[in-house]
Structure 1
């Protein structure tokens, strides 16, 4: 990380660079022996009263005393991608939303308030793709009241880590007392290599609608009601995959939504007693082949940041992180 001009460290950022991606070096606050400096890269979300706030791509906000700065500069909005399809956040965000639609929604400027009787945070959170049309404190009051009227906690889903994502909104929510509860990665890949994986797809059954057997393997809802079915069946072109098991529940399941060039993979679950036998790969391969038949060429999925087993599986299939998303809850 180069900060110098003619061998001299320089701070080349000011408060006017708020909203830009920056890289800064400061005196190491930990005091670790042998460590003089600490580096931080992220979006400069504020610079007030001698304190800088920088939101990293992980969604974490770092606060830095101006007096500890020894170097700083503006850097490109996002590093160039080395693999996978080219995609912007502006393209991906609506695709992800169409694949997991709520039962009820309302517009607040460019924000969408979504509810589905509490089934998943994605379907019960605000999608803030732009300006709410109100000052932020008023918009947050409206959000709280809207969810309270439905007996639901107020969540806002934000994204970080790519050009056009919402680092400043993350910082504003933290400042307003909202708490980040869950973070996940949105990963993308070329679709054809997934369809070409060496997997036994002979037992994988594909259906257009979800049935009771599929739901018995699905772990997100123990008592699926009509609201669950409405969310699961929503999307431009939805497919459900299942591999028969020895009992009533399938050995493995998955869901795919085809939307233009994109195929989104969700709800890939395997009987714990049958893991590491290639069933998840078989499900995804069968779904990928069907998506290719419908004209898709790129794949996406979402995986929670602490799900190491799933992340390893998807990395082996060529998925790379595009951006992260987070759910902030009102306290």
Structure 2
């Protein structure tokens, strides 16, 4: 907290600091015994009518009455990273978008409108990296019309928790009634240690998602559009660990898209009976070795905030969270899109 020369806590933020990362201490309205203050760190997304709105790294919004402020200051926009390769949000967002391409896209200023017949929200949402070139309400109206013409709900993909993320846009969407449906995180790591985690000798690599691979993939109804998304990207590899008997679904599968220095892992799925036996780690090791051969040096993946098993696995492989990302649905959409 900000402390004056006289040793007193001071509030050193004003409405002019909206959009900056701040740290504040405030009184707890109904405090428990021994608790009087609470600390909040995040982006100050609004300060209106005596109420501050602060968006934390994970995207949660905290409302604080101005009268409850005890101390506050502006803090560096990005805390020092302790693990993982250095990368900006913009770089990772573009790499992730290229790894999971839509079948149709259109530009709205610097925004990209993406559609793939509803196969996953990632391929059927707006990626708002920059200025749409028109006022926000006009842009959102154009977004809703574009998706309505395709029989799809309108989604906007945003991010929080890193330099250049979109806390202010999140706040504006929520103000307009857009509903946050999904929150996940993008994690990064050095690639070489992933390749060394297990013996990949039992893993088969292919350029195509064949029938065996799709038999393990959790989204069973995979049509032509879904295959175009799955097999799209700069350099895509599919990994399969064959089942124990002929004709059985694979023991495990995985997908990796190699793009310059980045290798993006997805669809790592293991037979429930074989989990915690290193099969998934072997899949990732095989894909990582192939990515290293193609010149990649860094890894990324996406994981849901509540998937504790996957988070523990990836943390053990050296991955750490870089930022959170969210999908906001237009208030009158029917939510027919599915998946991350």
TM range (shorter): over 0.9
CA deviation string 1:52-83 (max 9, x = no partner): 11111111111111111111100000110112
CA separation in 2, counterparts of 1:217 and 1:229? 14
Q: 1:122 is paired with a residue of what secondary structure?
A: coil
Match of 1:100 in 2: 100
Match of 1:305 in 2: 305
Structure 1: give runs of 5+ residues left out of the alignment.
none
Match of 2:214 in 1: 215
Deviation at 1:5, TM superposition (A): 1.7
1:116 aligns with 2:116: yes
Q: TM-score, normalised by structure 2?
A: 0.95
Structure 2: give runs of 5+ residues left out of the alignment.
332-340
Match of 2:155 in 1: 155
CA deviation string 1:220-270 (max 9, x = no partner): x22111100000011100000000003431110000000000000000000
Match of 1:238 in 2: 236
CA separation in 2, counterparts of 1:64 and 1:206? 53
Map residues 278-317 of structure 1 onto 2, 5 A cutoff: 278-317=278-317
Match of 1:194 in 2: 194
Is the CA contact 1:29–1:38 (under 8 Å) kept in the aligned structure 2?
no
Match of 2:334 in 1: none
Q: 1:152 is paired with a residue of what secondary structure?
A: coil
Q: 2:312 is paired with a residue of what secondary structure?
A: helix
Match of 1:228 in 2: 226
Deviation at 1:105, TM superposition (A): 0.8
Is the CA contact 1:243–1:252 (under 8 Å) kept in the aligned structure 2?
yes
Is the CA contact 1:159–1:166 (under 8 Å) kept in the aligned structure 2?
yes
1:58 aligns with 2:53: no
Deviation at 1:36, TM superposition (A): 0.7
Alignment RMSD, CA only?
0.9
Map residues 19-168 of structure 1 onto 2, 5 A cutoff: 19-168=19-168
CA separation in 2, counterparts of 1:248 and 1:208? 21
Q: 2:123 is paired with a residue of what secondary structure?
A: helix
Deviation at 1:29, TM superposition (A): 2.7
Q: TM-score, normalised by structure 1?
A: 0.97
CA separation in 2, counterparts of 1:124 and 1:325? 15
Q: 2:188 is paired with a residue of what secondary structure?
A: strand
Q: 4+ residue stretches of structure 1 with deviation over 4 A?
A: none
Q: 1:4 is paired with a residue of what secondary structure?
A: coil
Map residues 245-256 of structure 1 onto 2, 5 A cutoff: 245=243, 246=245, 247-256=247-256
Deviation at 1:179, TM superposition (A): 0.9
CA separation in 2, counterparts of 1:73 and 1:200? 50
CA separation in 1, counterparts of 2:298 and 2:29? 43
- Tell me the matched-pair count: 328
Match of 2:266 in 1: 266
